[in-house]
Each structure stands twice: as C-alpha cells, then as structure tokens.
C-alpha cells in the first residue's frame, strides 16, 4: 500500500472515530435529559461502554450518590477511547441503563415522559449527529 493510501486510511479512521464519539455524546445527552426524574437515579444511570453492555447500576434510588459522576466518567472514557484509538471503530458501543424500573418508565409509567421516550431520545440524538 502506498504511503498516500495509508495516510488516507488513517484520516478516514480518525474521522469515523470522531463522528462515533459525537453520536454517543448526543444520544447519551438526550437519554439523560429526557429520562423522567424523581430521585434522578434512572437519569444518572445511563452508562456508555465499548464492546459489551454495562451490567451495573451506580448508587440506589434512596442514595443516588455518585451515579451522575460514574455515568459521566464512563461516557468520557468511551468518547476518549473513540477519539484516540481508531482500532475500536469496529466494536459496538452500548448505552445501557440497569435501573430495575427503566422499562416501566419507558412503557409510560411516568407522566413526565411519553411512552417510548428511550426510542425518541435515541432518534433525536442520531438526528443531531447528522
């Protein structure tokens, strides 16, 4: 492969990594801001991860504690990895929420958000990324 072709491939991979990072940021922000809030535990437990979905929750309904900072840390870590390491461009990115009542919230249990707010937030985040 010519040096010019190698340079183009590196530039394309960098571009793709930055676009994926922007997409993750936009979707994560939409999910966080549109999740109904009582204690903020559900809103603060959106966790972004490369490779496999997160299986943890941070804090509890009664003690939200570090849920927001843990969620932001995981998001920053994923975005940083995507921006720096182009070899992750083929790995899936997951944005998970393992709070036990996230499904009932998405099914319309809360009057603060419509049924299907997760799908609406993901669509809005994707639209902002294009």
- 130 residues of the chain, pLDDT tens digit each: 899 999 998 888 888 888 888 899 999 999 999 999 998 899 989 988 888 898 988 878 887 766 666 677 677 777 777 666 555 567 888 899 999 999 999 999 999 999 999 999 999 999 998 8
CA distance 120 to 47: 18
pTM (predicted TM-score) = 0.83
CB under 8 Å to 130, separation ≥6 — which residues?
Answer: none
SS3 93: strand
Phi, psi dihedral angles at 49 (to 5 degrees) = -150, 145
Based on the structure, what is the number of domains in the chain?
1
Residue-number span of the structural domain to which 80 is assigned: 3-128
């Amino acid at each position: 492969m010519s040096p010019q072709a190698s340079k183009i491939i590196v530039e394309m991979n960098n571009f793709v990594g930055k676009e994926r990072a922007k997409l993750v940021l936009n979707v994560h922000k939409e999910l966080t801001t549109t999740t109904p809030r009582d204690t903020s535990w559900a809103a603060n437990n959106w966790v972004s991860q490369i490779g496999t979905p997160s299986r943890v929750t941070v804090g509890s309904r009664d003690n939200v504690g570090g849920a927001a900072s843990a969620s932001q840390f995981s998001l920053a870590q994923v975005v940083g990895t995507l921006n720096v390491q182009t070899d992750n461009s083929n790995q899936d990115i997951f944005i998970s929420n393992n709070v036990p009542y996230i499904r009932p919230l998405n099914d319309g249990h809360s009057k603060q958000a419509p049924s299907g707010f997760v799908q609406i937030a993901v669509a809005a985040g994707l639209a902002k990324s294009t």
